[in-house]
């Protein structure tokens, strides 16, 4: 009997693939032993049971607030609206000492902190707590709940707030985001990523970029548009990964969404064999670790694409 080798789960890829599942964003709050409010941003909130009404969230064992939540007998889940993205960042930051300073909140019937203007709030008593790898799972029994703002939910998807990606997508489809603005963004973002990649990328990562170029050139028929779009997206995504900067990778994912929308619905992506050498030049300069040359080659490539206003 043959046994297939099971590859180890690579943490970075695991986190990236988990990001494919869109999640809401909440702030979980409780009271410290001295009565002061405590809380943090969480996107691990989930419903568990209707009878009895149970919900859960998970907390890293390395979190400084784990002892606080472990000692508390109750907690509250505050579901954020898309207009509360600043609150999400505030409660997620380790640099903000007093998370509640300047934040409008009140105490609920259980005494837990409830943040004003959230979409909904759930006050819970601790029903159970379980260890799970590098996290602790807190299961709460809902004792009080209340609806709030009628706004849309703040959604996290592939490491970024979906609000941003959806806003850009809407501007693209409505023709309010001009070609020159998009091209300037690509030059700035991917030029920076190429410079970083020249110093940080492995040969395998450069190979992946070149493989994406191969795929683009192979899918040149008019009927191969979907494959060509995905290959183009892979080309830019591979550059982003090779840059090894997670903040810029988040921006790149949003720009990839814009790329797909433009090529599918705004500017038909006609075959452009005339730009093959320019795309290859980007890869060649990257493989030579020529940072300025790679960025200049990208600029030349984008300029050539726009020359005929046909896109690719």
Q: Please say whether the beta carbons of 40 and 120 come within 8 A.
A: no
Alpha-carbon distances, residue 82 vs 78, 156, 177, 246 (angstroms): 13, 10, 21, 23
pLDDT surpasses 60 at 289: yes
pLDDT tens string 173-195: 566 666 787 788 889 999 999 99
Cβ atoms within 10 Å of 16's Cβ, excluding its own: 15
What CA–CA distances, in Å, run from 185 to 112, 155, 178, 190? 44, 24, 11, 8
Spatial separation of the C-alpha atoms in residues 185 and 302, rounded to whole Å: 11
Distance CA 221, CA 227 (A): 10
Rounded Cα gap, residues 230 and 244, in angstroms: 22
Does the structure show a pLDDT above 50 at 3? Answer: yes
**Average pLDDT of the segment spanning 201-219:** 93
Question: 150-170 pLDDT, tens per residue?
Answer: 777 777 765 665 555 555 656
Predicted TM-score (pTM) of the model is 0.55
Paired with 47 in beta bridges are 55
CB 311 within 8 A of CB 269: yes
Residues 6+ apart with CB under 8 A from 154: 24, 25, 80, 81, 82, 84, 85, 88, 161, 163
Predicted pLDDT at 100: 94
**Per-residue pLDDT, 312:** 40
SS3 141: strand
Radius of gyration of the chain (CA): 24
61-114 pLDDT tens trace: 999 999 999 999 999 999 998 778 888 888 988 888 899 998 999 999 999 999
The C-alpha atoms of residue 190 and residue 295 are separated, in whole angstroms, by 8
């Amino acid at each position: 009997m043959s046994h297939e080798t099971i590859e180890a789960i690579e943490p970075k890829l695991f986190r990236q693939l988990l990001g494919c599942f869109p999640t809401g964003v909440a702030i979980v709050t409780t009271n410290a032993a001295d009565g002061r409010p405590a809380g943090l941003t969480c996107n691990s909130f989930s419903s568990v049971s209707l009878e009895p009404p149970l919900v859960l969230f998970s907390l890293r064992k390395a979190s400084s607030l784990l002892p606080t939540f472990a000692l508390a007998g109750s907690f509250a889940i505050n579901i954020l609206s898309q207009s509360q993205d600043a609150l999400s960042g505030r409660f997620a930051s380790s640099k903000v000492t007093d998370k509640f300073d300047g934040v409008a909140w009140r105490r609920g019937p259980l005494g837990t902190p409830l943040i004003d203007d959230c979409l909904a709030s759930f006050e819970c008593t601790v029903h159970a707590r379980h260890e799970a790898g590098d996290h602790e799972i807190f299961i709460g029994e809902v004792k009080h709940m209340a609806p709030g703002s009628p706004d849309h939910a703040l959604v996290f998807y592939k490491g970024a707030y979906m609000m941003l990606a959806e806003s850009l997508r809407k501007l693209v489809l409505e023709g309010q985001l001009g070609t020159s603005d998009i091209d300037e963004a690509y030059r700035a973002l991917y030029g920076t990523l190429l410079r970083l990649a020249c110093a940080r990328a492995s040969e395998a990562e450069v190979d992946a970029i070149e493989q994406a170029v191969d795929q683009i050139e192979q899918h040149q028929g008019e009927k191969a548009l979907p494959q060509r779009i995905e290959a183009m997206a892979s080309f830019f995504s591979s550059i982003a990964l090779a840059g090894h900067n997670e903040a810029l990778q988040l921006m790149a994912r949003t720009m990839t969404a814009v790329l797909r929308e433009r090529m599918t619905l705004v500017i038909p992506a006609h075959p452009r064999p005339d730009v093959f050498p320019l795309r290859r030049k980007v890869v060649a300069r990257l493989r030579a670790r020529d940072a300025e040359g790679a960025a200049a080659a990208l600029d030349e490539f984008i300029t050539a694409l726009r020359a005929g206003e046909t896109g690719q």
